[in-house]
Amino acid sequence: MKPAGLKTTENSEEPLEAPALQQSPLLMEQIVILDFGSQYTQVIARRVRELNVYSTILRFDTPAPEIQKLGVKGIILSGGPSSVYAPKAPLPDPAIFDLGVPVLGICYGVQLMGHFLGGKVEKGTKREYGKGTLTITRKDCPLFRKLPKSLQVWNSHGDKLTRLPKGFTSVATTDNSEYAAIENTEKSYFGIQFHPEVVHSPRGKEILSNYVRGVCGCRPNWTMQNYVELACEEIRAKVGKEKVILGLSGGVDSSVAAALIHKAIGDQLTCIFVNNGLLRHREAEVVQEVFGRNFNLKLQYENATALFLRKLKGVTDPEQKRKVIGKTFIDVFQTATRRAGKAKFLAQGTLYPDVIESVPIDGNPAHMIKSHHNVGGLPEGMKFQLLEPLRNLFKDEVRQLGLELGLPKEIVHRQPFPGPGLAVRCLGELTPDKLEITRNADRIVVEEMKAADWYYKTWQSFAVLLPVRSVGVQGDERTYAYTIALRIVESQDGMTADWVKVPYELLERISTRITNEVSGVNRVVLDITSKPPGTIEWE
């Protein structure tokens, strides 16, 4: 069972603060991104880190003195959906422009610069959305170093600058704006009306590199190789000689957290693995083999299959299934922690996006992107302090860290698996026979996707058992058996998804194997629904 049962629905309303980790000398050269509500803020942060420079996302109104304490080398003002003239427009502390560090404003960010520094922003007579052409008029602008005169960029704005602040000059234009990129050479202030962070701006990463590495002078010292020792020092300093418990699911986040904590404190860590009977093929065996034998972790195996299936007997409603699984998991895990012995810390695989998305931008919890992450507390009755060694990292960095720690590719790059496990892929009431059908069909999908070199190219690929029987002919006999639906999707973050057009030959092999090898199935169909309107999982 993925330890999602520990996640709470409590949400911090405190401003997003820089973790203590950022005081390390390794991270004293960093870029701060002030978040004004853009859907692309996390993408900006990830692009900076891809340049091997540490980035931190902070609330738009973070006081300038707090930013200065971080040893910031540059500031990026994100985009956002507001107008600078809106009554409740998010506005930064004006003192950020007195910190003496370079500032880059992106979209709404450049409009803020114009608004604060004496320029003028107005509604555009023509909105600019989607692809556009940027024409560079000042080749000596450091943002466009070694770039051609004409670039494809991605726009998303209605307002635009109509008068430049004092000391600024225009360095690039688009069809709709003579101030598509601006520069104040003396203060190293830059503003761009387009989004360099998205893939639709093909040379955008080079623009960010020119700012981060060139203008700000940041060195490329943010690597997972460097991070390992840094994180281990932090863990040892926080834990001391105390014991740590971690709910290990076999998923990427908990696996990497386990490997990292074990490297830091060894046998002070006990991992608890709960088998709820809803796992993938050989999941329990693989986890015990990799972590118990290869990594020599203290692994406490809890086989609660019979209990979970008993609790789920007769339950068909998807939401009720999730509630039963979550509550049962917490009960089993709490009992298991008592058997594990006294521990002060509970480790969780919280990631940086979990932290960011659980903090409301405007102070209104209703405006948060997500509200279910495991931040902000523990279930009542669990008396632990939290240890979250991955809370500074994005998912791709966690995967890199896992490889650095020696975890096998099969775990580090495995596809996401839902917290309720096969319960959301076996529709209707759960029985041991139906779960075994789902598990075997899913195994075949994974095997064939890997054999065809498609598994690691897709976000998720799996089998769903439908509560539908149909007539078939197998071995010259009439059958009345279940239907399996194939779900193969591509996505960046799971928020949206589209079905993958895999070769017909691959679909044929999967279908043939499932109908030949999985008893109780005589039909295979393909789900070609995108998200939205559908979801990735069926329940």
Tokens of 459: 């976000």
Q: What is the DSSP string of 141-205?
A: -GGGTT--SEEEEEEEEEEEEEEPPTT-EEEEEETTEEEEEEEETTTTEEEESS-TTSTTSTTHH
Please tell me what DSSP assigns to residue 21: G
> Is 232 a known active-site residue?
no
Q: What per-residue confidence (pLDDT) applies to 57?
A: 93
| Burial of 445 (C-beta count, 10 Å sphere; 0-12/13-18/19+) | buried
Distances (CA, A) of 150 to 156, 186, 191: 19, 26, 18
195 is catalytic: yes
pLDDT (tens digit, 9 = 90+) per residue, 272-293?
A: 999 999 999 999 999 999 998 7
Low-confidence ranges of the chain (pLDDT < 50): 1-22, 358-361, 363-376
| pLDDT of 215 | 97
Which of helix, strand or coil describes residue 92?
A: coil
Instruction: From the candidates 128, 183, 197, 283, give the one annotated as an active-site residue.
Output: 197
Other Cβ atoms less than 10 A from the Cβ of 483: the count is: 17
DSSP state of 289: I
Helix (H, G, I), strand (E, B) or coil at 331: helix
Which residue among the candidates 115, 128, 141, 195 is catalytic per the annotation? Answer: 195
Could you confirm whether 367 is annotated as catalytic? no
Looking at 107, 141, 218, 271, which residue is catalytic?
107
320 torsion bin: left (phi>0), alpha (psi -120 to 50), beta (else):
alpha
Place of tokens 């439908």: 466
- At CA 364, angle to CA 363 and CA 366, rounded to 5? 150
Distance of alpha carbon 309 from alpha carbon 317, whole angstroms: 15
Cα pseudo-dihedral 178, 179, 181, 186, rounded to 10: 130
Task: Tell me how many degrees the CA angle 171-172-173 measures, rounded to the nearest 5.
Answer: 140
DSSP state of 28: S
Orientation of helix 395-404 relative to helix 252-265, angle to 10°: 50
What's residue 115's pLDDT? 86
* Secondary structure of residue 455 in the 3-state scheme: helix
Q: List all residues 6 or more positions away from 285 whose beta carbon is below 8 Å from its beta carbon.
A: none
Q: For residues 226 and 21, give the distance between their C-alpha atoms in angstroms, rounded to a whole number.
A: 13
Torsion over CA of 184, 188, 193 and 195, rounded to 10 degrees? 170
* d(C-alpha 145, C-alpha 214), whole Å: 9
Q: 84: alpha, beta or left, given left = phi > 0 and alpha = psi -120 to 50? A: alpha
Q: Would you state the pLDDT for residue 20?
A: 45
DSSP 8-state symbol, 426:
B
Amino acid making up residue 107: C
Q: Cα 511 to chain center, whole Å?
A: 32
What's the pLDDT score for residue 85? 81
